[in-house]
Chain A
Amino acid sequence: MTSTPREITRRQMMRRVGLTALVAVPAAGLLSSCATSGGDSAAPSAAPSAAATSATNPFGVKADAPLEVVIFKGGYSDEYATQSHEPLYSKEFPKAQIKHQGIQTISQTLTPRFASGDVPDVVNNSGTDMLDGGALIGAGQLLDLTPLFEAPSIDDPSKKVKDTIVPGTVESGFGGDPAKPYTLNYVYTAYGLWYDAKMFEKNGWTPPKTFDEFKTFAEAAKSKNVVPFAYAGKNASYYAYWMILISAAKIGGNEILLNIDNLADNAWNADAVKQAATAWAEIGKYMDKSYEGLIHTEVQTQQNQGKIALYPSGSWLESEQAKDTPAGFEYAMSPTPSVSASDKMPYEAIRAAAAEGYVVPAKGKNPQGGLEYLRVMLSKEAAKAFTEKTKSLTVVVGATEGMTLSPGLTSVVAAQTAAGQNVVTYSLFETWYKELETELRKQTNALMFGRISADEFCANMQKAADKTKADSSINKQSRSV
């Protein structure tokens, strides 16, 4: 197996919808086994006689070639595809028949198809049961998306697609060796503490900017019978460890997180990690023990009912809760508080990254159409429709011009502006080293619910990281940015 960074694909799933499954349906790993055992050495399917390329048809899509699209039907559902993206493609190629599939178990459904060579043309690879991106790249199953990013943009043919999207998006989809972009990460996601702006206004509260303020705030909230901060320990303890890691990066800079990803010696024993863990463990004391046994939607529903003030999450939250958010509840996001005055990053720094991957299988019947579909997705019109349907921002710059953004998104945009260059990097160990990640979840719950100290937390995590490092059966990865 090539040591491809399996970064984005799995990582986003963690971020976005990750652990929503109460009852796991199997088996990204098992199923992907066939991705390689089957047809990896098979000759690339004869490219269908492509039409001539032109300025409006840069990939030379055959006008009547059918297109098959598979969308992960999770928190974003698949209406954005059936009601906007696919119709937009049809407008360009009215003779092309579009076959749409909206499913949740991507891996089980598609692995046998990859193995047999009968693959769709666009796959939204996401969810608990996503395909292992690294395995697919290793087996030559995915198309290099460089032509897409180099192609002229639909909105402004004088610009290349890559210049119309948020910087870093192309790199976030890198994989393979030498690294090439194989995944288009479409959704711009920000992470922080979410709250009801209306409730804060009514009580005269503002989100705490330091951990000292956080404690004062916690007392104030408690006096009003509101839980100051809570997360769902049963299936979403990673929401809490994001906060710890973000705080660690704010204290010591992004290299803290790079060291963790690179399994550097004593990365977890760094002072910044210890300080962050200590600070968050203090906040954990304000949480009722019962939160360890609740799942994320239960906790989110409680927040909607005004029982919880601050909830750690990402910008999909507003969309996920849309149906249950009561009138008068206004989502807003604030950055994580500063731990000390000597933090390397300011309070305003947030973690933001492109997520939710779309890939074009290399051996599909209409790969040109697949690329074109992604180009359509990256048009302002398609991006705007996505934001309208899902209350989530895309990586397309300026796509929300003239749109009334939802309250939550407005606050994300404001936070992003305030953060400027102070962006906390994402963590890749979450998908590179699942065993380490699983241990982090356990240790996070133990820390936040007061069973271990911050020192024990760091020591236990370091032990787990060392074990991963020493395990020869795990392919090691590394990153420099």
Chain B
Amino acid sequence: MPVAPSKAATAPRPRRRSIDVFSSLSHVALVIWAILVIFPIIWTFLASFKTNTELFGDNSLAMPQNFDWGSWGRAWDKAHIGLYMINTVKVVAVSTFLTMLFGSMAAYVLARYTFFGNRAVYLLFVSGLSFPVFLALAPLWLTMKNLGLLGTHTGLILVYVAYSLPFTVFFLTAFFRTLPSSVGEAAMMDGCSHTRTFFQIMLPMAKPGLISITIFNVIGQWNQYLLPIVLLPGDVQDKWLITQGIANISTNAGYEADWAGLFAALSMAIIPVLIIYIIFQRQIQSGLTAGATK
């Protein structure tokens, strides 16, 4: 929108109006998208109170006729949503911690030390970014069984860590490279060991990057669907994770047609996560981008 200098005096007025049109149009776009995001979630919540007749009636936009929490009870008792949540929190907490520990150790060494094989190890990790997990499912199942890790949280955690390493190492290596080398060298001069330099000096300096990748890993591992259904089979239902629980109740809807129960379970899986996100949204959003835009 080039504005000729000579017209500058008369320009403000039409420009003002075009801004108003632009503003209101952009508000419309934002509001529509916000509705698209919020509406399905609210609908799911409301659907948990509906009867099958209402759900399959002619007006699926109507409010439920009465707020009966029975479906929530059924979902809680039968689908064990609470237990699966706790399991998921446990697994994701431990595996994210280990991912970050091992990932940053490897990345630090790869970023700041020259040694024979450095490049090879780095490429080995990075090439993992383009491996489809699918390719590994069948052999992985056998390996886990042979190691006696099938159906255990330990096994799943180790696998989560291993599959999160490529991304973590890739990003943190880049991050450690950007940190000034003078600080580390000064610490070494002062007699700090390599290990202490890493834990006491370098890690705190890398905090923004670490937080960012931690959030990536938490979200990624929380959402994992394939690995748990393969590695935590049916005889260890008490160890299942939330995505399996939802998939299972969705399957059960095939046997029992308890749609309200399905939506209640979905709501139970969604709401706590949303609440946690809303509470920590500032930290999550800034943390997420601190490393990625570096």
Contacts and interface: CB of A to CB of B under 8 A. Distances in A.
Contacts of A108: 233-235
A27 B232 CA distance: 13
Contact of A20 (B53, B234, B255): B255
A110 to B, nearest CB: 8
A144 B139 CA distance: 32
B142 A321 contact: no
Contacts, number: 86
Contacts of B53: 305
B141 interface: yes
B250 A22 contact: yes
Given A20-B254, A74-B255, A112 B145 contact: yes
Contact of A297 (B138, B248, B253): B253
A118 to B, nearest CB: 12
A201 B145 CA distance: 58
B145 A115 contact: yes
A21 B234 contact: no
A109 B235 contact: yes
B142 A33 contact: yes
A210 interface: no
Contact of A298 (B56, B141, B255, B258): B56
Contact of A321 (B137, B150, B229, B257): B257
Interface residues of A, number: 40
A17 interface: yes
A30 B253 contact: no
A63 interface: no
B94 interface: no
A305 B145 CA distance: 48
Nearest to B230: A26
Contacts of A26: 137, 229-230
A25 B145 contact: no
A106 B234 CA distance: 7
Interface string A321-365: 101100000000000000000000000000000000000000000
Interface string B237-268: 10000001001101101111110000000000
A39 interface: no
A453 interface: no
A9 B237 CA distance: 24
A472 B254 CA distance: 36
Contact of A23 (B138, B142, B247, B258): B247
Nearest to B57: A305
A112 B150 contact: yes
B286 interface: no
A296 B254 contact: yes
Contacts of A20: 251, 254-255
A26 B231 CA distance: 10
Given A75-B255, A301-B257, A109 B56 contact: no
A222 B237 CA distance: 47
A74 B52 CA distance: 21
Given A23-B247, A298-B56, A305-B56, A129 B253 contact: no
Interface string A88-106: 0000000000000101111
Contacts of A110: 235
A184 to B, nearest CB: 23
Contacts of A321: 257
B96 to A, nearest CB: 25
A146 interface: no
Interface of B: 52-53, 56, 137-138, 141-142, 145, 150-151, 229-230, 233-235, 237, 244, 247-248, 250-251, 253-258
Interface of A: 17, 20-23, 25-27, 30-31, 33-34, 37, 74-75, 101, 103-106, 108-110, 112, 115, 128-129, 235, 295-298, 300-302, 305, 320-321, 323-324
Q: Nearest 3 pairs between A and B by C-beta?
A: A105-B234, A108-B233, A20-B254
Given A22-B250, A103-B234, A301-B257, 17 more contacts: A23-B250, A25-B244, A25-B251, A104-B234, A106-B234, A109-B233, A110-B235, A129-B234, A295-B254, A296-B254, A297-B254, A297-B257, A298-B56, A302-B56, A305-B53, A305-B56, A324-B257
